[in-house]
Amino acid sequence: MSSALKTNLQDAMKAAMKAGDKQRLGVIRLIFSALKQIEVDERIELDDTRIISTLDKMIKMRRESISQFDKAGRDDLSSIEQAEIDVIQTFLPQALSESEIETIINEAISKTGAESIKDMGKVMGLVRPLIVGRGDMSVISETIKKILSA
């Protein structure tokens, strides 16, 4: 285990076992399962960047589930998904503030010379690696659209 984040996850799993925190332990095991699946499928050892990206995807999937559960009036299932998001987020870097996100976006726009919504792909290409795991990509996408449309 060369990854600092993997080591952190391992330590958190041991702590959850000792504390008898079955819910947290279950979520951490889900994380390890997802990471192991990628490692086996791609025959690689994941680094922190790829782990953060995977955790970000896991959160996105759960947010989509929450949206569906809320539409169906299933608050019980929605709260389970939210609890899982809360655990997963503890392993992600601290979220960026709105002003930090806007600064990153504006720098990317000036670097790419983006002038309209047609250039959004170029901007996202620069912004995504800097923000993954530190902000909701759908909100960031909307912010880029808003800035480029102005």
The residue assigned the tokens 């569906």 is 68
Q: Which domain holds residue 140?
A: 98-149
Instruction: Give the residue from 96, 124, 98 showing the smallest Cα distance to 111.
Output: 124
Could you tell me if 114 and 41 lie in one domain? no
**Angular region, 95: left φ>0, alpha ψ -120 to 50, beta rest:** beta
Could you tell me if 137 and 107 lie in one domain? yes
Number of domains comprising the chain = 2
Contacts for 84 with CB less than 8 Å, ≥ 6 apart:
27, 30, 62
Could you tell me if 69 and 120 lie in one domain? no
Which amino acid type is present at position 136? D
Could you tell me if 85 and 104 lie in one domain? no
From CA 38, how far away is CA 50, in angstroms rounded? 10
Could you tell me if 81 and 12 lie in one domain? yes
pLDDT at 134: 85
pLDDT, tens digit, for every residue of 91-123?
998 888 888 999 999 999 999 998 888 989 999
From CA 141, how far away is CA 139, in angstroms rounded? 5
pTM to 2 decimals?
0.78
- From first to last of its 150 residues, the chain has per-residue pLDDT tens of 468 999 999 999 999 999 999 999 999 999 999 999 999 999 999 998 899 989 999 999 999 999 999 999 999 999 999 999 999 999 998 888 888 999 999 999 999 998 888 989 999 999 988 888 888 888 889 989 988 887
Could you tell me if 102 and 127 lie in one domain? yes
Instruction: Give the residue from 72, 68, 55, 69 showing the smallest Cα distance to 8.
Output: 55
Could you tell me if 110 and 82 lie in one domain? no
Could you tell me if 71 and 109 lie in one domain? no
| Domain endpoint, select from 89, 106, 133 | 89
Could you tell me if 81 and 113 lie in one domain? no
CATH label of the domain that carries residue 103: 1.10.10.410
Could you tell me if 76 and 105 lie in one domain? no
Could you tell me if 84 and 18 lie in one domain? yes
